Amino acid sequence: MEQKDLQHIANQFEINGTVAEVKPLGNGLINTTYKVTTAEADAPDYVLQHINNAIFPDVDMLMNNIVAVTTHIRKKLEAKHTDDIDRKVLHFVPCKDGKYYYIFDNKYWRVMVLIPDAVSKTGVTPEGSKIVGETFGDFQAMLADIPVQLGETIKDFHNIEFRLQQFHDAVKEDKMGRAAGVKDIIDEIEKRADDMCRSERLYREGKLPKRIAHCDTKIDNILFDKNDNVLCVIDLDTVMPSFIFSDFGDFLRSAANTQPEDSPEYDKIEFRMDIFKSFTEGYLKTARAFLTPIEIENLPYAAKLFPYMQLVRFFADYLNGDTYYKIQYPEHNLVRSRNQLTLLKRAEEKEPEMVAFIKQQLA
């Protein structure tokens, strides 16, 4: 995109200072991001981001959610007299018309203040997993009493009944004629379906609440200062009402797998209990105060639910002809499916140990 267009977009927002330069920033997979440098030494720099409205079609809802969340967290930090608040919660800048996004050439854009001297991390370690658990538990805790109703930015994102319906439709239609050769996976999915829909049943019975969850729990979505202290949680597009299992289970699905999710080396797949224990210890440290007994009791279920849900999604896509997930070879989604099924079985084997560890943490 041309510099003059990027500067034009940036100048539609209520920024302090004069826009000097707009350059690409990072390598986000969903949203295209730029750094806006201001000319004045005392003015902050900014982040200009293109919102992918193919994934997030209701941009009004998306930005209303994000502003509500960041405003609420800021109030919580102010009430605790937290130091350096501007680096501990994202700050989005409105346009001159009051909206938090600007449309240019049929694309949606937003601006936030750049947090200076911040670093991000990648990779999975027990120490890092404890920090992730503690940080996202605290994030959920701060939002447990948010006074506004947020919308679902991706409808039915972590609704296992919806995902199973997609699976059943895929099996019934069998567009590619693949179902006959993978009956074993169909049977594995079906025999667990009733138990895996536990969360939705408990919700309908009024026993399990929906809360505000991040829904993309990983160390990449935490900013740190240069001394490795946590600053804030970022990438708030998927923050929406969900079960707390979304943040707990989805982290473990990827972090506790000893292999990448598309590895065909199924015999090397284990469910890492060192990661489970570190993450759970951190999570319960900050989230325990607001969690109900039924939420805590079902944390091992969450650790099984997310490999199962991803198995269902990969496998339905395989049956449908690989229309959703990008593939590198014809059997890619089938390999992913078998990978997640193996991880699920390894997690099932570890469930008694998970239950015992959680009881130990609560003692």
Domain parsing of the chain, residue ranges: 3-113, 126-362
Give 109-141 pLDDT, tens digit per residue.
999 999 999 999 999 999 999 999 999 999 999
Which pLDDT tens digit goes with each residue over 209-259? 999 999 999 999 999 999 999 999 999 999 999 999 999 999 999 999 999
Could you check whether 3-113 and 126-362 share the same CATH topology?
Answer: no
Using 50, 70 and 90 to split pLDDT, how confident is the model at 1?
Answer: confident
Q: What is the dihedral of CA 81, 69, 140, 206, to 10 degrees?
A: 130
CATH for the 3-113 domain, from 2.40.50.100, 3.30.200.20, 2.60.40.10, 3.40.50.1700: 3.30.200.20
Half-sphere exposure of 337 (CA within 13 A, CB side): 23
User: Quick check: helix, strand or coil at residue 241?
Assistant: strand
Q: Of 262, 263, 270, 239, nearest to 73 (Cα)?
A: 239
Sequence-distant (≥ 6) Cβ neighbours of residue 328 within 8 angstroms: none
pLDDT-derived band at 28, boundaries 50, 70, 90 = low
Q: Beta partners for 33?
A: 49
Q: What is the pLDDT of residue 26?
A: 73
| Residue/partner pairs of 172-176 with CB below 8 Å, 24 or more apart | 173/319, 173/320, 174/319, 175/319, 175/320, 175/321, 176/319, 176/320, 176/321
Supply 182's token pair: 């993978």
Cα separation, 307 vs 89, in Å, equals 31
User: What's this model's pTM, rounded to 2 decimal places?
Assistant: 0.93
pLDDT band at 191 (very low <50, low <70, confident <90, very high): very high
Give the Cβ contact number of residue 338 at 10 Å: 23
Contact between 361 and 281 (Cβ < 8 Å): yes
Q: Is 269 helix (H, G, I), strand (E, B) or coil?
A: coil
Q: How many helices (H) and strands (E) does the chain have?
A: 11, 10
Triad 7, 13, 16: Cα angle to 5°:
90
Residues with Cβ within 8 Å of residue 359, at least 6 apart in sequence: none
- The helix/strand/coil state of 214 is coil
Average pLDDT over residues 275-297: 97
Asked whether the beta carbons of 40 and 59 are under 8 A apart, the reply is no
Q: Which fold has domain 126-362?
A: Aminoglycoside 3'-phosphotransferase; Chain: A, domain 2 (3.90.1200)
